[in-house]
Amino acid sequence: MSWSVDDVPDLAGRVAVVTGANGGLGFETARVLVRKGARVVMAVRSPEKGGRARASILGEMPGAALEVVTLDTSSLASVHDAAATITALHDRIDILVNNAGVMGIPRRESADGHELQLAISHLGHFALTALLMPALLRSDRGRVVSLTSLARLFGRPIDPDDVAMHRRYDPWLAYGRAKLAVVQFTVALDRRLVASGASVRALAADPGFSGTDLQAASAREAGGRSQRLAARTVRWFGSSPATGALPQIRCAIDPDASGGCLYGLRFAVRGAPARQPYLVPWLRSQDLRALWAVSERETGVRFDVAALVRAGGQPPA
């Protein structure tokens, strides 16, 4: 069955938070959601870039409900500050799109000492989701959408004894590890939500081979042959950001999209967004518990889904 932005329903009264919304997939997602009537919080690392992105959308849609909040998912302090700002503005959140990420960069550590790709793509979003969950639980059909990629196929689970990858670092293995962690988090979160009787659902989206600035930024920073090849190839063969954003948009708003599942373009660079197999073996209960435990330990954020649901959308004491 085909699906396009024409199938997005009226979102008036809905509140969405999109990380990394100043460009690429995040920008296109924010643009579609606000066009359909949602109020969108653009959670971005650079307020200057966020302001320009907001102005661009307002130039197309004057009066659109857009807010810019500073968020650097590589910094847990920034995550806490952003979550406090967002929840002060909005008592209820209907959609959270964990979109921000980096790809294939040389080894760097975050302000908290975490390997940067894991920090930005997973750990920061894990903490943000936990902190925003009370507001999400106040929605009658909340969605948490997290962005993975085909790199999950060569990712390996986090080694709890070497989370920072001091022993061996490869840019692409680190990227795959981060995107596998996103998948594990999505499945684990949805299972916990279902078990607790919550209406919120967690889904993962794969944009396929989409031509955003992600590949170019990787090539600029790393300067390696593989990064330059990826940047050139996506320019030649990749889909547009608008097409690549379709899976995460469908995950965010389609009531028929199944919780705990992955949606991607049917043919990687084209076709309607449709349910796809994860094709990774590390989704057993013990794998998901291990991912959850290391995520809580590294972020210092206890994410007790059952307790949050019992509290009825209020943070537990």
Q: How do residues 144-153 score in pLDDT, each as one tens digit?
A: 999 999 999 9
What residue segments make up the domains of the chain, in order of their start?
A: 9-306
- Is residue 266 very low, low, confident or very high in pLDDT (cuts 50, 70, 90)? confident
CA angle 269–32–275, rounded 5-degree value: 45
Average pLDDT over residues 269-297: 94
The pLDDT assigned to 215 comes to 43
Active site residues: 175
Kindly report the average pLDDT of the chain as a whole number.
91
pLDDT in tens, 208-254: 876 555 544 544 555 555 555 554 555 545 568 899 999 999 999 99
Asked if the model's pLDDT at residue 192 lies above 80, the reply is yes
Residue with tokens 């070497």: 162
**Cβ 259 vs Cβ 194: under 8 Å:** yes
The pLDDT assigned to 2 comes to 83
Q: What is the reported pTM?
A: 0.92
Topology classification of domain 9-306:
Rossmann fold (3.40.50)
Q: What are the residues whose beta carbons fall under 8 Å from the beta carbon of 6, sequence distance 6 or more? A: none
First to last CA, the chain: 46
**Cβ 95 vs Cβ 143: under 8 Å:** yes
pLDDT in tens, 174-190: 999 999 999 999 999 99
d(CA 210, CA 239): 5
**Cβ 3 vs Cβ 274: under 8 Å:** yes
d(CA 317, CA 305): 14
Asked if the model's pLDDT at residue 269 lies above 90, the reply is no
The pLDDT assigned to 175 comes to 97
What are the distances in angstroms from CA 73 to CA 54, 142, 267, 306, 314? 20, 21, 30, 25, 24
**Cβ 122 vs Cβ 185: under 8 Å:** yes
